[in-house]
Amino acid sequence: MLEKYMEEQLVATSLLKNSLLQNKVVQAYLFYSNDINYIFKYAKDFCKEIICNKDDSNYENICLKIDNDIYTELKIVEPINDCIKKEQLISLQNEVKNKPVLGNKIVYIIKNCEKLNISAANSILKFLEEPNDDIIAILLTDNINLVFPTIRSRCQIINFKNVKKLINNKSTYYLLSDLLNKNIENLEEEKFNDIINTTIDFAESIEMKKINTIINIKKLIWDKLDNKSHYNIFFNTLIYYYFDVLYKKINRKIKYFYDFSESIEKVCEKNTVENIIEKITIIEKIKSQSFYNTNLKLLTDKLVIELSDVNEE
């Protein structure tokens, strides 16, 4: 069911498919994207694979019920008058007390989880802190900055790319400036290009020098990035760079960094597909922490340490 998303959501889908294959589905996910309806549809397709094995004779019937929102062991919570209230969460908890009967798991989806009020957030926290093996939570948001940090910390965060923006252009810089247009307002082209090159230098250092990168972190990063906007460009560019490494690894065309194909090839050779996906996940996590953490230098140190810990071939 998730195979149809591989082209446009390669990393997210690979992570989730691997968790299903290895029977390592976690108790709580947080999906985020700028398109809430897209990830809601994706979440329902993910539910189909969690709830029922494709070889089960009842699989198609369950899928049909999920599509029509009539499958009783998939619970959906949505804002009422732009707010999710405590009463909705109490009702949810009462509905999922029993063990699943129709499928393997009971799944609940909370749409626009950033709209949980404080009481509702406290209720869901207690639920997340004491997970039941039979229950899977999938929280959805199109604004991760508004999701309570205590909720984020209890979920595996999965970032979904805006496929409408993943377009091919002839120039690396033109493409990236288009992708990152919200972050580069009033930023001179020379500075933007400098940040791009800084990001490539950092990635190459991580791959070649690993933890020793931290020795030169001031010269590599701190002296080059002046504010939060610069760091945001850095994190996003690093993600796109590793996307290209992943595309190269699976014999697809480089999408973004045509001018750095030699660098992409060298990094590709040093990593497995699993390594690359893990690194993208780490960068996504550190990037999300940068939204509410003012100590960006400390975060770059953390980034070096966690990327260096990823096993390589």
Q: Domains in the chain and their CATH numbers?
A: 2-164 (3.40.50.300), 168-308 (no CATH)
- Show the tokens assigned to 43: 């979440």
Are 179 and 165 a contacting pair, CB within 8 Å?
yes
| pLDDT tens figures, 234-288 | 998 999 999 999 999 998 888 888 778 889 999 999 999 999 999 999 999 998 8
Q: Tokens 């979440």 appear where?
A: 43
Give residue 211's pLDDT band: very low, low, confident or very high (50, 70, 90). Answer: very high
Give residue 179's pLDDT band: very low, low, confident or very high (50, 70, 90). Answer: low
Distance (Å, rounded) from C-alpha 184 to C-alpha 232? 10
Q: What is the DSSP letter of 161?
A: -
Give residue 311's pLDDT band: very low, low, confident or very high (50, 70, 90). Answer: low
* Cα 137–Cα 139–Cα 142 angle in degrees, nearest 5: 170
pLDDT at 313: 45
- Show the tokens assigned to 8: 């446009």
Give residue 169's pLDDT band: very low, low, confident or very high (50, 70, 90). Answer: very low
pTM of the model: 0.58
Are 182 and 34 a contacting pair, CB within 8 Å?
no
pLDDT at 276: 94
pLDDT at 173: 52
